Amino acid sequence: MGAWQSYRLRLQRKRWRIRAFRKRRDLRPVANRTDDIRASDILVFCTQRNEGVRLPWFLKYYRDMGVNHFLFVDNDSTDGSLDYLARQPDVSVWTTRASYKRARFGVDWLNWLLSRYGHDHWTLTVDPDELFLYPFCDTRPLRALTDWLDASSIKSFSAMLLDMYPKGRMDSQPYQPGQNPIEIASWFDAGNYTIRKNPQYGNLWIQGGPRARVFFHDDPERAPALNKVPLVKWDRRYAFVSSTHNLLPRGLNQVYDEWGGEKASGILLHTKFLSTFNEKAEEELERRQHYGASREYLAYAEGIRENPELWCKWSEKYINWRQLEILGLMSKGNWA
Amino acid sequence: MSVGIVMLVHTAFDRAEQVARHWAGAGCPVVIHVDRIVKRKVYDGFVAQLSDLPNVLFSRRHRCEWGTWGLVAASQDASELMLDRFEEVRHVYLASGSCLPLRPVQELVDYLAARPRTDFIESATTADVPWTVGGLDHERFTLHFPFSWRKNRYLFDRFVEVQRALGYKRRIPRGLVPHMGSQWWCLTRQTLSAILQDPDRPRFDRYFRHVWIPDESYFQTLARLYSTNIESRSLTLSKFDFQGKPHIFYDDHLQLLRRSDCFVARKIWPHAERLYRAFLSDADNAQSRQEPNPGKIDRIFAKAVDRRTRGRPGLYMQSRFPNPGWENGMTAGKYSVFQGFAELFEDFEAWLARATGAQVHGHLYGPERAEFAGGQTVINGALSDNALLRDANPRAFLTNLLWNTRGERQCFQYGPRDNPRINWHMARDPNAQISVISGAWAVPLFKSNANFADIRAEAAALQKIENKMLDELRSPDVKARIRIWTMAEFIEAPMEPLQVIIDEIGQKSLRRLSEAPRLTDLNGFGQFLQNLKNQGMHPYLMGDFPVEPAPRSAGARKRKPYLVKK
């Protein structure tokens, strides 16, 4: 990479940070318990809108994993989820009625909170429908991973988005609050992912899965990106660029090995395709607040009307992280 | 007689205290060294915590940065204190705060008592071991290292380069032969005191003070001068990864550690509650002992290193995306590509499946869709037959298919009508077996019911594409197993090449092929080619083909071709 490009990325990173600083005024604290955060705590950062039904499981899942504090941005929820979050002892929540889209799909808000509260912490930036998995997550807490990453001088950890879906119609099994969504959406595509390198930021660009197979088969270039770097030892100089797909400085995107080896990586189980999805898609279509002119949701709405079934004969049923490791979707790397 | 434990501690004091109590409780005196970087308050608290134990002492504190002299100085001072204050100690065991005894302390005491003259210290000459990471093996003894490796890697590296360029070399003190090994040793009083009380010690210390990572070489080298009986292995189980960092043990390693038969293991994750609980309570530990099996731990960690450095062949994923040439296997398994066979033989795919037992697809790169075996629209791994999805990244389509079906031989048809962008990738892949009958694309045209002008245009286009494909297959960089015949050549004796290809696939027994595929009816094909020629489109890829069929048209399959006279 030339000095010129390096300089431009630096400017770009500064721009995102200034933007995040300006967008801080969108956020109004509802419950700020950040004084409770201790130096070694692991933090979760999340934006949510009307995800009340998912939150009980989400919080339980990450608490059990060993997350110490949650920082939420609530984007104008109307389902009481803001109150629910404000009542949790380990949650700090801010609310905003500003445009999700103009905050670059929430990235500006999160960049602000990250730089303010995430500095020098291990931070996990996820959506309410994303469940993080890492090697040995059934026997070792998240701190075991972050300690190991610290000891290995690794600052960022990759976790590809794995779209989970039910067998049968999406709306056939209603999802109940507090229920493990994987009980319903327990299927996934094991081996139809395509990877390209993004020369600008140095990250991999992964597409595929059921969304490419069913909703984007006529326009595969536009299928959603699945690469994510959710777990980062944050520094206030860092900035997410586009969702958690990539960040700056670009060295943090180097979560893959280029010389034949495998680095350790995890998975984000994406439980978007539950009974709640149709409503959500309809609503988002109306609001037009999502990425790429909500193209994704347009495609879904069309696809869902035609054929709501994502399941196919070769879908794989989720068992545990070891299964995903064997399938080559994630890797233990040299963590043993 | 007993064993004295020297413990180097810099973090996780609650665990260090637990382990120190365990040693002391079993009658082993303990001398603890705490890194000087630890804050006074924390240190005092730690000392106070252990003040109730008379046989636990604290030695003078040094700053122990990794790779520097501090660790040796700490070991020296603590050992001196140990030898001085605890007369009954015969062996001194160097351990760290994150070490955990795996066997009852008494077993260690008995073991050492049975070997009163033996020094357990891993010690090998630099020339003979490939342990070092980063390339500094012998040079660590002959260069200067004034800059911190951790904090000033850039200056560290540059300074090494400068010294190399200048040809600078430190002299190794006379009488010393540099040895290296694990820093966790167990030495006898005799050897240790000889090292510490050597009149030459100031000279040696001055030298080792500037050696890189002296804690892995100071005692290892000097023990060679005095010891009468060195057993070159460490009693501490300690595994290192590809960067030279110690592997860490967690709760889920409990059974492995139980069966390892080692006395002490490091490094233990401080929050591994189950490990500490299991190994620090002597009672149930002694009973649950099974057959020793240290090999399993070795295998697990060796596999981890292998996975990190070489990875799984043919896998492309979020954390493994090799640069070209570094794939360690571009694809996950061997596969066969057939070009022109399905055109020339009737029902070739079914025959091939019967003959080899492999999974035989149609034209995977066909223009309409990927023709998976059995007409499936989706295949292993939920790979779709959609042509647009496939053509968005034809290479990933191939590597995905082969990864998803690993363990089962894949065969597929290919040709100039298919997506040509995959041809070059296959040609470079040692896993590919590519067999081409050039010009066979003309057979479907010959049988088609199209207007001749269209046929002519298409034949010209296909010939051009195939010619380019053949050029790629004949390039000097190809790695695939490639065989090319012209059509005329092939139909003269079709069984021989087929037998060779099938044998190479090698799925079934090596019997001769019992059933031959049926050659399609080529009556009039020669004339068809001649017509193309007459229209000014010279088909040359199929070789020299007869214009007229042999007179015995009934036995068409047996006929011998003859040359067309121009």
Taking only the tens place, the pLDDT of each residue in B234-267 is 888 888 877 778 889 999 999 888 888 888 998 8
List the 389-408 stretch of B: residues with Cβ below 8 A of A: 389, 392-393, 396-397, 400, 403-404
List the 264-323 stretch of B: residues with Cβ below 8 A of A: 269, 271, 300-301, 303-305, 307-312, 315-323
Eight-state DSSP code of residue A160: E
Torsion sign across C-alpha atoms A79, A85, A87, A92: negative
Query: What average pLDDT does this structure show over A211-225?
Result: 89
Q: Which of A139, A212, A331 sits opposite B320 (nearest CB)?
A: A331
Say what the pLDDT of residue A2 is: 82
For residue B471, the tally of other CB atoms under 10 A from its CB is 10
CB B205 within 8 A of CB B259: no
Say what the pLDDT of residue B139 is: 82
Q: Which residue of A has its CA nearest to B317?
A: A329
Distance CA B140, CA B138 (A): 5
* Peptide bond between residue A249 and the one before it cis (omega within 30 degrees of 0): yes
Query: What average pLDDT does this structure show over B1-18?
Result: 90
Instruction: Using DSSP bridges, classify how beta strands B30-34 and B2-9 pair: parallel, antiparallel or unpaired.
Output: parallel
Report if residue A240 sits inside a domain. yes
Q: Give the lowest-confidence range in A94-108, B305-319, B510-524.
A: B510-524
Say what the pLDDT of residue B156 is: 86
Q: Which of A140, A151, A227 sits opposite B250 (nearest CB)?
A: A140
Please spell the DSSP secondary structure of A203-224, one letter per residue: -EEEEEHHIIIIISTT-GGGSP
Say what the pLDDT of residue A278 is: 77
Say what the pLDDT of residue B504 is: 86
- On whether both B291 and B198 belong to a single domain, the answer is yes
Query: Which residue is it, tokens 């100031």?
Result: B202
Residues of B in contact with A335 (CB under 8 A): 304
A192 touching chain B per CB within 8 A: yes
Report if residue A267 sits inside a domain. yes
Distance CA B86, CA B398 (A): 69
Report if residue A301 sits inside a domain. no
Distance CA A12, CA A18 (A): 10
Instruction: Using DSSP bridges, classify how beta strands B30-34 and A204-208 pair: parallel, antiparallel or unpaired.
Output: unpaired
Q: Which of B242, B245, B321 sits opposite A204 (nearest CB)?
A: B321
Provide the CATH number for the domain around residue B457. 3.40.50
Q: How far is CA A317 from CA A241, A324, B240, B381, in A?
A: 33, 10, 36, 11
Least Cα separation, residue B535 to chain A (angstroms): 40
Give first-to-last CA distance, chain B, whole Å.
105
3-state secondary structure (DSSP) of residue A246: strand
Say what the pLDDT of residue B100 is: 92
Residues whose CB falls within 8 Å of the CB of residue B524, separated by 6 or more in sequence, listed in order? B446, B549
Tell me: pLDDT of B134 over 80. Answer: no
Say what the pLDDT of residue A305 is: 62
- On whether both B293 and B146 belong to a single domain, the answer is yes
Report if residue B132 sits inside a domain. yes
Tell me: pLDDT of B27 over 70. Answer: yes
- On whether both B76 and B214 belong to a single domain, the answer is yes
Residues whose CB falls within 8 Å of the CB of residue B294, separated by 6 or more in sequence, listed in order? B237, B259, B260, B261, B262
Contact at CB, B301 and A151, closer than 8 angstroms: no
- On whether both B130 and B243 belong to a single domain, the answer is yes
Average pLDDT, chain A: 90
Distance CA B7, CA B10 (A): 10
- On whether both B361 and B414 belong to a single domain, the answer is yes
Q: Which residue of B has its CA nearest to A187?
A: B382
Closest residue by Cα to residue A34 from A92, A78, A80:
A92
Contact at CB, A259 and B322, closer than 8 angstroms: yes
Q: Give the lowest-confidence range in A250-264, B121-135, B151-165.
A: B121-135
For residue A27 the two structure tokens come to 């956020």
Closest residue by Cα to residue A164 from A154, A173, A151, A155:
A173
Three-state SS annotation for B492-551:
HCCHHHHHHHHHHHCCCCCCCCCCCCEECCCCCHHHHHHHHHHCCCCCCCCCCCCCCCCC
Least Cα separation, residue A204 to chain B (angstroms): 7
Closest residue by Cα to residue B95 from B238, B271, B230:
B238
Q: How far is CA A323 from CA A181, A213, A268, A306, B391, in A?
A: 18, 22, 14, 32, 29
Query: What average pLDDT does this structure show over A137-166?
Result: 94
Q: Give the lowest-confidence range in A232-241, A254-263, B348-357, B543-552.
A: B543-552
Query: What average pLDDT does this structure show over B159-185?
Result: 88
- In a mutational test of the B interface, the residue from A195, A205, A215, A332 whose CB has the highest number of chain B CBs within 10 Å is A195
CB A68 within 8 A of CB A90: yes
A35 touching chain B per CB within 8 A: no
- On whether both B388 and B475 belong to a single domain, the answer is yes
Tally of domains in chain B: 2
B379 touching chain A per CB within 8 A: yes
Say what the pLDDT of residue B129 is: 67
Average pLDDT, chain B: 87
List the 229-288 stretch of A: residues with Cβ below 8 A of B: 255-265
A326 touching chain B per CB within 8 A: no
- In a mutational test of the A interface, the residue from B240, B319, B321, B406 whose CB has the highest number of chain A CBs within 10 Å is B319
Least Cα separation, residue B383 to chain A (angstroms): 5
Distance CA A238, CA A254 (A): 14
Report if residue B443 sits inside a domain. yes
Tell me: pLDDT of B560 over 60. Answer: no
Contact at CB, B319 and A139, closer than 8 angstroms: no
Tell me: pLDDT of B553 over 60. Answer: no
B7 pairs with which residues across the strands?
B32, B95
Report if residue B131 sits inside a domain. yes
Report if residue A229 sits inside a domain. yes
Say what the pLDDT of residue B314 is: 93
- Domain range spanning residue B119? 2-309
For residue B200 the two structure tokens come to 């030459």
Provide the CATH number for the domain around residue B140. 3.90.550
Contact at CB, B382 and A315, closer than 8 angstroms: yes
Q: What percent of chain B has pLDDT over 70?
A: 92
Q: What percent of chain A has pLDDT over 70?
A: 94
Residues of B in contact with A213 (CB under 8 A): 378, 382, 384, 386, 389
Q: How do residues A196-213 score in pLDDT, each as one tens digit?
A: 999 989 999 999 999 899
- On whether both B469 and B385 belong to a single domain, the answer is yes
For residue B233 the two structure tokens come to 């292995």
Say what the pLDDT of residue B549 is: 57
3-state secondary structure (DSSP) of residue A135: coil
Q: How confident is the model at residue A12 (pLDDT cuts 50, 70, 90)?
A: very high
Tally of domains in chain A: 1
Query: What average pLDDT does this structure show over A181-207?
Result: 93
Contact at CB, B400 and A265, closer than 8 angstroms: no
Least Cα separation, residue A164 to chain B (angstroms): 13
- Domain range spanning residue A266? 3-276+311-326
Tell me: pLDDT of B326 over 50. Answer: yes
Distance CA B520, CA B343 (A): 8
pTM of the model: 0.89
A147 touching chain B per CB within 8 A: yes
Report if residue B378 sits inside a domain. yes
Please spell the DSSP secondary structure of B323-389, one letter per residue: PTT--SSSSSS-EEEEESHHHHEETHHHHHHHHH-SEEEEETT-SSB---GGG-SEEGGGEE-BHHH
Q: Which of B304, B316, B384 sits opposite A217 (nearest CB)?
A: B384
Report if residue B315 sits inside a domain. no
Report if residue A110 sits inside a domain. yes
Residues whose CB falls within 8 Å of the CB of residue B363, separated by 6 or more in sequence, listed in order? B342, B370, B371, B412, B413, B414, B415, B417, B418
Provide the CATH number for the domain around residue A58. 3.90.550
Residues whose CB falls within 8 Å of the CB of residue B280, separated by 6 or more in sequence, listed in order? B18, B19, B22, B100, B101
Query: What average pLDDT does this structure show over B461-466?
Result: 94
Q: How far is CA B485 from CA A45, B421, B541, in A?
A: 62, 22, 9
Query: What average pLDDT does this structure show over A70-81?
Result: 92
Least Cα separation, residue A295 to chain B (angstroms): 18
Query: Which residue is it, tokens 């920082």?
Result: A71
Q: How confident is the model at residue B555 (pLDDT cuts 50, 70, 90)?
A: very low
- On whether both B205 and B352 belong to a single domain, the answer is no
Say what the pLDDT of residue A263 is: 95
Distance CA A184, CA A173 (A): 7
A136 touching chain B per CB within 8 A: yes
Contact at CB, B252 and A219, closer than 8 angstroms: no
Report if residue B566 sits inside a domain. no
Q: How confident is the model at residue B507 (pLDDT cuts 50, 70, 90)?
A: low
CB A187 within 8 A of CB A311: yes
Least Cα separation, residue A168 to chain B (angstroms): 16
Q: How far is CA B370 from CA B378, B420, B565, in A?
A: 9, 14, 42
Eight-state DSSP code of residue A174: P
Contact at CB, B321 and A258, closer than 8 angstroms: yes
Say what the pLDDT of residue B22 is: 92
Q: How do residues A127-142 score in pLDDT, each as one tens digit?
A: 999 999 999 999 999 9
Q: How confident is the model at residue B469 (pLDDT cuts 50, 70, 90)?
A: very high
For residue B285 the two structure tokens come to 């530990």
Give first-to-last CA distance, chain A, whole Å.
34
Tell me: pLDDT of B213 over 60. Answer: yes
Say what the pLDDT of residue B554 is: 44
- On whether both B289 and B342 belong to a single domain, the answer is no
- In a mutational test of the A interface, the residue from B248, B309, B318, B403 whose CB has the highest number of chain A CBs within 10 Å is B318
Please spell the DSSP secondary structure of A269-335, one letter per residue: EE---STTHHHHHHHHHHHT-SHHHHHHHHHHHHHHHH------TT-EE---HHHHHHTTSSB-TT-
Contact at CB, B304 and A328, closer than 8 angstroms: no
Say what the pLDDT of residue B512 is: 63
Residue type, B49: Q
Contact at CB, B312 and A328, closer than 8 angstroms: yes
Distance CA A194, CA A29 (A): 41
Query: What average pLDDT does this structure show over A72-77?
Result: 92
Q: Give the lowest-confidence range in A63-72, A318-327, B8-17, B134-143.
A: B134-143
Query: What average pLDDT does this structure show over B352-379?
Result: 92
Query: What average pLDDT does this structure show over B50-72?
Result: 90
- On whether both B179 and B304 belong to a single domain, the answer is yes
Torsion angle (degrees, nearest 10) of CA A127, A188, B403, A221: -60
Q: Which residue of B has its CA nearest to A314?
A: B382
Tell me: pLDDT of A287 over 50. Answer: yes
Length of chain A: 336
Tell me: pLDDT of B433 over 90. Answer: yes
Tell me: pLDDT of B130 over 70. Answer: no
Closest residue by Cα to residue A53 from A324, A329, A272:
A272
Distance CA B519, CA A31 (A): 79
- On whether both B302 and B389 belong to a single domain, the answer is no
ipTM of the complex: 0.93
Report if residue A294 sits inside a domain. no
Report if residue B324 sits inside a domain. no
Query: Which residue is it, tokens 């100071």?
Result: B218
* Peptide bond between residue B267 and the one before it cis (omega within 30 degrees of 0): yes
- On whether both B353 and B240 belong to a single domain, the answer is no
Tell me: pLDDT of B552 over 50. Answer: no
Residues whose CB falls within 8 Å of the CB of residue B245, separated by 6 or more in sequence, listed in order? A151, A152
Tell me: pLDDT of B465 over 90. Answer: yes
Residue A202 zone, left/alpha/beta (φ > 0; ψ -120 to 50; rest): left
For residue B295 the two structure tokens come to 């090999």
Residues of A in contact with B267 (CB under 8 A): none
For residue A98 the two structure tokens come to 């500003």
